[in-house]
Amino acid sequence: MGDVIPLIIDCIKSAASTIKNSSDRAKKGIFALVAVVAILASLSFTGTRIAYKVDYSGSNIATVSSKKQFNDAIELVAQMVEGDDVASTVEEPRFSATVVLGDDINNTQEVANAIIDNTDEIVAATVIKVDDSVVARGEKEMVDTLISTRLNSFNCNEGVCTSRFVRDVKYEDGYFIKSELDTKASIEGVVNSLGVVTEMRKTTDIIVPYKSTIEKTNEQIVGYSKVTVTGVSGVNRVTQDVVMVNGEVQSCVEISNEVVVAPVNEVVVKGTARTLASAKQKQQAHSAGFAFPLPSGSWQVSAYYGDGRGHKAVDLRAKSGTSIFAVADGTVIQSGWNGNYGYCVTIEHDDGTRTLYAHARQLCCNVGERVSQGEVIALVGTTGQSTGNHLHFEVIINGRNVDPAPYINLD
Ligand SMILES: [Zn+2]
């Protein structure tokens, strides 16, 4: 009711003046006074009262009981808003008297809030503090976005990430004078210079390659190789806690390592035998008394007989031009080009056994010629179907190939 009393006094003064200055108007003045008193009495009786609507920055923002209440609200604004001379940012309001119910008058805090909400120069902002020192202040939404972008910038898709700053970073929300805030570029510079710790729990499936076991068998020729158990790779699921600073891994601790699929190891059987000839066959072969077809120390076996490829000979690797000898006396029944054999010599020995020498570079005998054991019949080469200089040596009995190894003492 603080404003009502001056209003009444104003009315009484006005009425008195009217009576004093113009007796003609006295009645009207007295009538006016009575009317005002009646209005006031009626206001008081109905619980209504006179107040002021505050027109601020183009809109009606509050209803105050007095202009003083508005000034009190400005003081409150100055306390709520950080900055120099906050009061000067508050615009000049326009008051219009009104009659309201007592409840419709805003309290001072509400008025202060309304002033803040409607003053363009006052904004909600966030202060960033690093180790308790203010490093930047900016509009709340922008700061939130920049902070969140920085914190998430080292996340990766491999697991669930949580991020924090290396240093102690705190945020304080408040109201500030817009022109006293830092620019976006400057805040971005500050935020992006802060180190980020990213912690991640990462689960990865790792392929575990199968191992290969070699089983040797004397029941197969050297060169024989067969996979008897097919290898299957396994899968391990590894969970790790990874700590990164600015995306660089600082530590990686394995939390669990679980076998999802156990690997199946491969088994490969390899032959070690140089011949599969029986003891009797070997004895027979030795008794043929063949000499070795190449000079001592000039050769190496590169393939044995029946090594899984259906190879019906022994291959002896030697330098191009190495002498090839007749393994026993006999008659040359073939000496010339022979398809895949390339340049090839076949000798028939006295008991009907034939020996064949293939891939020669040069032939040194003619068909029909009688040759002696140890005589040079050709020179090593790589003609025909051949991948390197070698002698392909066959022994044929009754038109069938037999293992040459025991005949030239390779068993
Ligand atoms: Zn061969």
Mind listing the pLDDT tens digit for each residue in 252-300? Answer: 999 999 999 999 999 999 999 999 999 999 999 999 999 999 999 999 9
The pTM of the whole model exceeds 0.75:
no
Give the distance (Å) from ligand 1 centre to CA of residue 392: 4
The residues pairing with 362 across neighbouring beta strands, listed in sequence order, are 379
Q: What's the DSSP call for residue 6?
A: H
Give the distance (Å) from ligand 1 centre to CA of residue 141: 83
Residue 157: per-residue pLDDT:
78
pLDDT digits (tens, 9 = 90+) for 196-228: 999 999 999 999 999 999 999 999 999 999 999
Residue 43 pLDDT > 50: yes
Residue 63 pLDDT > 90: yes
Of 94-103, 301-310, 331-340, highest mean pLDDT = 331-340
Specify whether the CB–CB gap between 7 and 97 falls below 8 A.
no
Give the distance (Å) from ligand 1 centre to CA of residue 238: 51
Specify whether the CB–CB gap between 134 and 82 falls below 8 A.
no
Residue 5 pLDDT > 50: no
Q: Which CATH architecture has domain 277-408?
A: Distorted Sandwich (2.70)
| CATH code given to domain 204-269 | 2.20.230.10
pLDDT band at 1, cuts 50/70/90? very low
pLDDT digits (tens, 9 = 90+) for 157-174: 777 889 999 999 999 999
What's phi and psi for 399, nearest 5 deg? 80, 5
Q: Under 8 Å CB-to-CB from 63, ≥6 apart: which residues?
A: 51, 52, 53, 54, 98, 100, 104, 105, 106
Give the distance (Å) from ligand 1 centre to CA of residue 390: 8
The residues pairing with 371 across neighbouring beta strands, listed in sequence order, are 330
Distances (CA, A) of 298 to 306, 323, 324, 380, 390: 23, 9, 11, 11, 11
Residue 48: per-residue pLDDT:
83
Tell me which H or E stretch contains 357.
Answer: strand 354-360
Give the distance (Å) from ligand 1 centre to CA of residue 391: 7
The residues pairing with 42 across neighbouring beta strands, listed in sequence order, are none
All structural domains of the chain with their residue ranges: 4-120, 125-194, 204-269, 277-408
Compute the mean pLDDT over every residue in the chain, rounded to the nearest whole number: 90
Give the distance (Å) from ligand 1 centre to CA of residue 289: 22
Give the distance (Å) from ligand 1 centre to CA of residue 227: 24
Q: What's the DSSP call for residue 371?
A: E
